[in-house]
C-alpha cells in the first residue's frame, strides 16, 4: 500500500466546476477559476479519490508517489 499520493490537475482540461474543492476543500482550491491542489504530495485519503472520480472532465489524477502508478480516476 502506498504511503503517499501525488495529485495533479490538468489545467487544459479543468473547467472550474469546483466539485473537487467542494468535495475535498483541504486538498483543492480554485485559482483564476481553475482547480489547483493545495499540496502536490499527500497522505492517502478516500476524499482525494472521491474528488478525482467526481471531476466531470477527468482533469484530476492521483498517482502513487513512489512508482507513479495511476490510482484515480479509474480507467
Predicted confidence at residue 28, as pLDDT, reads 98
What dotted CATH number matches 5-65? 3.30.70.20
Peptide bond into 40 cis (omega under 30): no
pTM of the shown model = 0.92
Question: pLDDT value at position 34?
Answer: 97
Cα 62 → chain centroid: 6
Rg of the chain taking only CA atoms, in angstroms: 11
Digitized pLDDT (tens) for each residue of the chain, 75 residues in all: 689 999 999 999 999 999 999 999 999 999 999 999 999 999 999 999 999 999 999 999 999 999 999 999 986
Q: What values do phi and psi take at 70, rounded to 5?
A: -70, 125
- DSSP-derived secondary structure letter, 40: S
pLDDT of residue 1: 63
Distance in angstroms (rounded) separating the CA atoms of residues 1 and 18: 29
Domains of the chain, residue spans:
5-65
Amino acid at each position: 500500500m502506498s504511503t503517499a499520493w501525488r495529485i495533479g490537475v490538468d489545467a487544459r482540461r479543468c473547467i472550474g466546476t469546483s466539485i473537487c474543492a467542494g468535495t475535498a476543500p483541504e486538498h483543492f482550491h480554485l485559482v483564476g477559476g481553475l482547480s489547483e491542489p493545495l499540496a502536490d504530495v499527500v497522505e492517502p485519503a478516500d476524499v482525494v479519490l472521491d474528488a478525482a472520480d467526481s471531476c466531470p472532465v477527468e482533469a484530476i489524477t492521483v498517482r502513487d508517489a513512489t512508482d507513479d502508478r495511476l490510482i484515480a480516476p479509474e480507467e
